Amino acid sequence: MTPSAPHALRADALTLAYDGRRVIEGLDLEIPDGRITAVVGPNASGKSTLLRGLARLMRPESGRVTLDDRDIRSFAPKEFARRVAVLPQQPVAPDGVLVAELVSRGRHPHRGWFGGRSSDDDRIVAEVLEATGTAGLAGRAVSELSGGQRQRVWIAMALAQRADIVLLDEPTSFLDVSHQLELLDLLTESNREHGTTVVMVLHELNLAARYADHLVVVDGGRIVAAGEPAAVMTAETVGAAFGLDCVVTPDPVAGSPMIVPIGRFHRG
């Protein structure tokens, strides 16, 4: 496997809006290459919208997103998809589609106009099935799978794109704790082995602090803090962004900052 080429994904004065309602305003952001970035923030903070903007799923109202100093809108769709893979929130598979078929669709950006597949396609699909632990499910219908299995299959599809940057919108939502960890381990493995740049929106702050090299806290459509988890995840930042009184203490397993919420009945 060739290690990924260095890439610079960044947003400059990015403003994103739905029907004229601004969700992200004048945001600047640089995604560290070859690292894992987690985007966190309270509900309706604009974190998913930000990811959609980076993923070219939304046209900016103003400002721009660039990949290697080139506006991402100037890439041809397949050209962009070969560099950046995106896993949208709660994707839906058509009834009855098989795991192997769905994952094979990840190879689309590498195919020609008439959809001819190369001999590499089957090998790469097999590799990502193996890597995501879904090889045994290859012949099953996606709709028959459990939530955790299904999410791994979607990740396999995104990995089959063999893009250097992978963007994921809440990949762990609706998964129980053990499946959340399994999934984040899987992304970490892809990052460590292939140098894949991972950017994910996460709900669970402690997991974000543990798995991310770089943490971006979004609130009200702006970045309120960004940097290493140890520097960013302070009681002040969490209090300001999430309106949550908490104590931050080192995670006994990973040493990363761990948030312990206080609540109304346990104030000292």
Task: Note the residues at the interface with other proteins (CB under 8 A).
Answer: 19, 52, 55-57, 76-82, 84-88, 91-98, 100-101, 104-106, 108-109, 111, 113-115, 122-123, 125-127, 129-130, 135-142, 144, 158, 161
**Tokens (6 digits) for 85:** 């893979």
Rounded Cα–Cα distance for residues 190 and 207 (Å) = 17
Closer CB to other proteins, residue 174 or residue 254?
Answer: 174
Closer CB to other proteins, residue 50 or residue 223?
Answer: 50
Q: How far is the CB of 266 from other proteins (least distance, A)?
A: 41
Q: How far is the CB of 268 from other proteins (least distance, A)?
A: 46
Closer CB to other proteins, residue 128 or residue 215?
Answer: 128
Rounded Cα–Cα distance for residues 16 and 232 (Å) = 25
Q: How far is the CB of 9 from other proteins (least distance, A)?
A: 14
Rounded Cα–Cα distance for residues 210 and 213 (Å) = 8
Q: How far is the CB of 80 from other proteins (least distance, A)?
A: 7
Rounded Cα–Cα distance for residues 242 and 234 (Å) = 12
Closer CB to other proteins, residue 22 or residue 222?
Answer: 22
Query: Cβ contacts of residue 144 below 8 Å, gap of 6+?
Result: none
The one-letter amino acid at 2? T
